[in-house]
Amino acid sequence: MENEVVLKLINKKYHIAFAESCTAGLCAAKLVNVASASKVLNASFVTYSNEAKIKYLGVKKETIDTYDVVSKEVAYEMALGVAKETNSEVGVSVTGVAGPTGGTEAIPVGTVCFGFSILGKVITEEVHFNDIGRNNVRDEACSYVFKRLNELLWAKEDFL
């Protein structure tokens, strides 16, 4: 999947940047496994703390306080922020609870929120991977990122 994403980005002359929390850079690392990744990857931020999300990505403290750090609203601001800060056509964000602790009744372990900013238009999604183990949640979240990127990059420019 990563190969396909890199090829699509090259063909569209797009650059990508990641803002990762619970995946801690795993998505960027998987992209870099592709030899041509240097043609499309602008930057990657591991913004694990709320403070880092605010400082480097422009996430509003009020958004975190109102919706929680694991929310589609925060994922939206992360994706838009990383695209803007890195001058990238594509910005991807991942924020979630990989576990084994940290979950709540409202946001259980395995909940991951994603943001996909393409040319300034953002969509967000929330996926529940369940309590399948910390590294499995992280792996599944990255697989989801590349699956969705493949779909979104095939879509027409007005996909949102």
Domain locations along the chain: 2-127+139-154
Q: What is the pLDDT of residue 154?
A: 84
Residue 86, both tokens: 């890195």
Residue 71 has pLDDT above 90, yes or no: yes
160 pLDDT exceeds 90? no
Compute the average pLDDT of residues 97-101: 95
Q: Which among 14, 17, 47 is positioned nearest to 31, based on CA atoms?
A: 17
User: Taking 70 as the threshold, does the pLDDT of residue 75 lie above it?
Assistant: yes
Interval 56-85 mean pLDDT: 98
Cβ contacts of 22 within 8 Å, gap of 6 or more: 94, 95, 96, 97, 98, 112, 137, 138, 141
Cα 35–chain centre separation? 21
Mean pLDDT, to the nearest integer, of 86-112? 97
Q: Tell me, what amino acid is at 91?
A: G
**With pLDDT > 70 as the criterion, what percentage of the chain qualifies?**
97
Mean pLDDT of 148-152: 96
pLDDT at residue 108 is higher than 70 = yes
Helices (H), the chain: 2-12, 26-32, 50-57, 61-67, 72-86, 134-154
Confidence of residue 80 (pLDDT cuts 50, 70, 90): very high
Report the pLDDT averaged over residues 69-91. 98
Q: pLDDT (tens digit, 9 = 90+) per residue, 27-36?
A: 999 999 999 9
Q: Does domain 2-127+139-154 have CATH number 3.90.1300.10?
A: no
Edge-to-edge strands, sheet with 16-20: 41-46, 16-20, 90-96, 111-118, 121-128
